[in-house]
Structure 1
């Protein structure tokens, strides 16, 4: 059940102990893919995971997607929006507290953006130790065996080819690849010297978006939803 689509009486009457909160980003994904890619994928995976978990007999609420995250590393590409880690943690944390006030005692944050991970790890750990709700963060690309996630590369581009193919500018993928990077950052002695992505990728892409297709996107969504269900089962069984 998507919380934004129902009435307050529907929300009152549903028997759910679990909620999923999708979080993403509004940031550059090369010249070929939409700024909202991370939010779109997080929401799609949350909805698919909730549907599969509900098929096992447990209703799950899906909260509205948080669309702006920790993305200052992309600030030099137009259209990118970002907030500080403190603001992000406060907003996500207070949203989780809102869910907890209605009797939800388990929340999994379904994340689609790498820049959010550290802030979410700290937040979820602190809230689980100190609050009335157990929460964990799930970042979909850390759950898959696909080795070339990149940024606006074959994996992310294929996800949108599956979810919303009209949003991919296929005629720009060659420029994205030619101006892109093979890997993230500039690493020396285990240290990334590149704080901003425009210092190592001219197009904003990392990886070749010409690789992969809608079928790969469907497979990634399927694998990510299955992994999310596995996590939900573990969180449900966990003693606080």
Structure 2
């Protein structure tokens, strides 16, 4: 049985060599604790699933999108004291991104979307540095940020809260422990007003802000909420891919 033509890991060279791909999608997740009830691969599951569904919709609309294998490790410098939260430093991520982009450029793929699924990853500075050196249009988005979550969730949460828990309950229900085993995701707030209010920033040492590694209460989560949000997000990202695939990177502005 042939694989999905828009998922590189399922596609043979016989198919790939005959396809001129318009845009590549690189899902980038993390491997880290997500409260007591979600798997360490939560961000990878979300990245791969959102990328695949958005690419399917875009493909069926005529855009030749291809989803690359996901990068499963993210920036975890604030979680180094939590066992097996696997860290990639930003400089390592930048090197990986540069190598992937250079490969795509050599293969004639002219657009690359980094589809991010981890709050600790930030690709914007990397893209600013890399873009002048590679003949591939580079862009990034955080999958959870492209649709307002407030109509879907009572309290979306920041990490392993209602939003993430509901989405994983939809995508991988067998990997979610019963919610009565989850912590409440209470966050200890900074003593400094600028950090509390969000207009100043510093990395958060995770075990000092959360007793259970979660930030956000997951107890109102349901798979139905997750399915609805997932559908809205993937439809919007698919539309973005269709536009991106047909756009001239040298002529993006009216």
SS at structure 1 position matched to 2:139: strand
SS at structure 2 position matched to 1:116: coil
TM-score (structure 2 length as normaliser): 0.86
Corresponding residue pairs, total: 235
Q: Which residue of 1 aligns with 2:231?
A: 222
**CA distance 1:182–1:113, shift in 2 (3 Å):** same
Q: Distance in 2 between matches of 1:25 and 1:153?
A: 16
Q: Distance in 2 between matches of 1:39 and 1:214?
A: 18
**CA distance 1:127–1:231, shift in 2 (3 Å):** farther
Answer yes or no: is 1:162 the counterpart of 2:197.
no
Q: Distance in 2 between matches of 1:44 and 1:185?
A: 34
Of Structure 1 and Structure 2, the greater helix share is in 1
Q: Deviations over 1:42-73 (max 9, x none)?
A: 11010011011111112211100000011222
Q: Distance in 2 between matches of 1:186 and 1:64?
A: 41
**Segment of structure 1 superposing worse, 73-82 or 155-164:** 73-82
Q: Deviations over 1:103-139 (max 9, x none)?
A: 110011111001112xx11222333333100010111
Q: Distance in 2 between matches of 1:172 and 1:106?
A: 44
Deviation at 1:2, TM superposition (A): 1.0
Q: Which residue of 1 aligns with 2:124?
A: 121
Q: Deviations over 1:123-178 (max 9, x none)?
A: 2233333310001011111212114241000011111100110111115544x11x
* Aligned partner (choices 197, 203, 210) of residue 201 of structure 1: 210
Gapped regions of structure 2 (runs ≥ 5)? 1-5, 151-155
Deviation at 1:8, TM superposition (A): 2.2
Gapped regions of structure 1 (runs ≥ 5)? none
Q: Report 1:74-89 matches (<5 A).
A: 74-89=79-94
TM-score (structure 1 length as normaliser): 0.90
Q: Which residue of 1 aligns with 2:54?
A: 49
Answer yes or no: is 1:212 the counterpart of 2:211.
no
SS at structure 1 position matched to 2:17: helix
**CA distance 1:145–1:186, shift in 2 (3 Å):** farther
The answer (yes or no) to whether the contact 1:138–1:228 under 8 Å persists in 2 is no
Deviation at 1:227, TM superposition (A): 2.1
**CA distance 1:170–1:2, shift in 2 (3 Å):** same
Q: Report 1:139-150 matches (<5 A).
A: 139-147=142-150, 148-150=156-158
Deviation at 1:19, TM superposition (A): 0.8
